[in-house]
Amino acid sequence: MIIDLLKKAKKVAVLTGAGISAESGVPTFRGEGGLWRNYNPQELATPEAFARDPGLVWEWYNWRREIIHPLEPNKGHKFIADLEKNTSDFTLITQNIDGLHQKAGSKNCVELHGNIWRVRCVREEKVFELSDVPLKDIPPVCECGSILRPDIVWFGESLDPEVMSIAYNAVKNCDFMMVVGTSAVVQPAASFPLIARQNGAYVVEINAEKTPISGMVDESLIGKAGEIFGKLKP
Ligand code: OAD
C-alpha cells in the first residue's frame, strides 16, 4: 500500500529526526536511550552557554563529533537515498546534523539545524568545513583571530530563512510525506506533517513510539525505522 502510493506520488517530501540515525549508533535527544538523560542539550546548545563558556560547549561538540565520525548510514538512510533516485521531485528535510543522509547518497537534503562538520566565524560569519576529529585546540579559532562556533542552529536562534523557505515549499506542495524518527515536539519541523496533510498530502509516520502527531497522520507505523523500511522494500 505505502509502496504503491510512493510509486504513484509525483512530489515526495521526507522529514527525519534523530531516530533515523539511532540504528547507526547516534544517540537521540529524547525517547529510549536518549542523549537527553546524561546531558541537557538545552543548557549547552544555546548562544548564552557559548558566550559564558565556549570551551565547555566545544567539548560537548567534540565528544559528539567523535561519536558520529566512524558511524555509517543504516537501512533507513539508504531507503531514503534510493527513494530520491526513483522520484522526480524529492526533498529530504532533516533536523539531524550528523551528515549521514549525505553519506548514504541523499542529494537534495535540507538541513534545518545545520551540520556538525561545519563551523562559522562569530565575527565574519564565514562558514567552512572542519572535520578534524578530535579538534585539538578548543575552542577553535578563525584565521581572523575570532572564535569559531559550530554551524548549528541553537535553542533560541532562528532558522535560516532560505532553508525554511525551501523546506516549507516542499512540505506544502508534496503529495506524499514520510516522517521518520522524530519526537515531533520541536518547532517548526513538528508542524510540517500537519501542513502537508492540510494541503492534501498522504502522510506516513515511522517512529519507535507514539508522538503528538501520531493521531493526526494517515498512517503511523510504530517500530524501528530500519526494520520497517526493510519490510517496505518491494
Ligand atoms: P528526538 O530525540 O526528540 O526524537 C527521536 C525520536 O526517534 C523519538 O521519538 C524516539 O522514540 C524515536 N526513535 C528512536 N530510535 C528509533 C528508531 N530506531 N527508529 C525510529 N524511531 C526511533 O529527536 P528529534 O525529533 O530529531 O535540535 O529532535 C528534534 C530536535 O531537538 C533536534 O534536531 C535537536 C533537539 O534539540 C537542535 O539541536 C537544535
Cα angle value 110/112/117 (rounded, 5°) = 85
Which residue among 42, 61, 207, 214 is best mutated to probe the pocket of ligand 1, counting the most ligand atoms within 8 A of its Cβ?
207
CATH class, range 32-70+121-152 = alpha beta
Q: Is there a catalytic annotation at residue 113? A: yes
Assess if CATH 3.40.50.720 describes domain 2-26+73-113+160-230.
no
Domains 2-26+73-113+160-230 and 32-70+121-152 share a fold: no
Give me 178's grid cell. 514520510
Instruction: Supply the pLDDT for residue 40.
Output: 75
Q: Which of 55, 150, 137 is nearest to 98 (CA)?
A: 150
Domain boundaries, the chain: 2-26+73-113+160-230, 32-70+121-152
Instruction: Supply the pLDDT for residue 89.
Output: 98
Tens digits of residue pLDDT in 64-91? 899 899 999 999 999 999 999 999 999 9
Kindly give the number of the ligand 1 atom that is closest to the alpha carbon of 17. Answer: 26
Whether 113 lines ligand 1, by a CB cut-off of 6 Å, is: yes
Bond from prior residue into 150 cis (ω within 30 degrees of 0) = no
Instruction: Supply the pLDDT for residue 44.
Output: 86
The model's pTM is 0.95
Ligand 1 midpoint to CA 210 (Å): 12
Segments in the chain below pLDDT 70 = 31-39, 234
Tens digits of residue pLDDT in 38-51? 667 778 899 999 99
